[in-house]
Amino acid sequence: MNLALIIIIVVAVVLAIVGGLNSALQWLLWVALIVGVIALIAFLFRVISGSRRA
């Protein structure tokens, strides 16, 4: 699960860079933001649920 989150974050950063460089692909910036937010929520959920189990 941790590896999947890292991959999602890397993809989000790459999409953000590509979307920022090419205005014709501006929708990629929105996709990167959405994917980044989903990755952040999944990471926070994992941290919170992990601390409850301990």
Report CA torsion sign: 13, 14, 17, 18: negative
Quick one: pLDDT at residue 19? 65
What does the pLDDT look like over 26-52, one tens digit per residue?
777 777 888 888 888 888 888 888 765
Query: Is the pTM higher than 0.95?
Result: no
Contact 5, 12 (CB under 8 A): no
Residues 6+ apart with CB under 8 A from 5: 39, 42, 43, 46
- Whether the pLDDT of residue 20 is over 70: the answer is no
54 vs 1: CA distance, rounded Å:
18
Q: Which residues contact 28 (CB under 8 A, 6 or more apart)?
A: 15, 16, 18, 19
